[in-house]
Amino acid sequence: MNGTTTSPSLSKLIQLSELDSSIARLLARQKQLDEERRAKEESCQKLRRGFEEKTVELSGKKKKYQEEENRIQEENSKLVERRKVLSTFSNYKVQQSAQKEIEASAKQLAMQEEKLIETLEDIEKLEALVKAEEENLLSEEEKLKEFSADVEGETESVIERCSEKEGARSELATSVDASHLALYDLIRKRHAVDPL
């Protein structure tokens, strides 16, 4: 027997090995696709949580701003009323004391109004951030949708090809001697190799 010819049983075992390698590569590709999709889904969920947190924060700041604005308007109205009442005082000292109190209140209200303006600027910045995050989220969700559709198509192809390879393997395995097949399977399981 010369070295270039192989026995029919060995030839079939080599073919079986090639089919097993193909099946392993297909299964590895399927796993890789699933992991990529899962990673993209987790990324989108993280973006959504961040967007929702910022939206809640924005809503809270707007509510607080509105409450503060209403309170300041109420205080301003009271201040105007106190100024009207000021002219009715006949005692000069009482009038001067009330005038100083009104001026102190007016200064305090002016500082609160400045703080309210700063809060409004913060709200505007946060609104811009929320809008940008929403656009990013929508874009990433659209990319995920497209990727998932591509993965579904490729998954179907992988399943179909894997099924064909497994069918061919089963057919080929029936034509291999049972003892050779058992030895082959034992070796394959002991020395599993990364298909990629």
- 98 falls in which pLDDT band (50, 70, 90)? confident
Question: What amino acid is encoded at 65 in this protein?
Answer: Y
The DSSP 8-state label assigned to residue 88 in this structure reads T
Q: Find the helix packing angle between 178-190 and 8-86, rounded to 10°.
A: 40
Q: What is the pLDDT of residue 83?
A: 81
Q: Tokens in use for 78?
A: 């009271």
User: What CA–CA distances, in Å, run from 72 to 81, 99, 161, 196?
Assistant: 14, 19, 72, 69
Query: Can you read off the two tokens belonging to residue 12?
Result: 């079939």
Residue with tokens 């030839």: 11
- Give the position of tokens 């989108």: 44
The larger pLDDT score, comparing residue 191 to residue 77, is at 77
Spell out the residues 6+ positions from residue 115 whose beta carbon is closer than 8 angstroms to its own: none
Q: What is the DSSP letter of 177?
A: -
**Over residues 47-66, mean pLDDT:** 95
Least confident of 24-33, 114-123, 181-190: 181-190
pLDDT higher than threshold 70 for residue 6: no
| pLDDT band at residue 99 under the 50/70/90 scheme | confident
The answer to whether residue 195 scores a pLDDT higher than 60 is no
On whether the CB atoms of residues 23 and 166 are closer than 8 A, the answer is yes
- CATH T-level fold of 11-174: Helix Hairpins (1.10.287)
Say how far apart CA 184 and CA 2 lie, in whole Å: 24
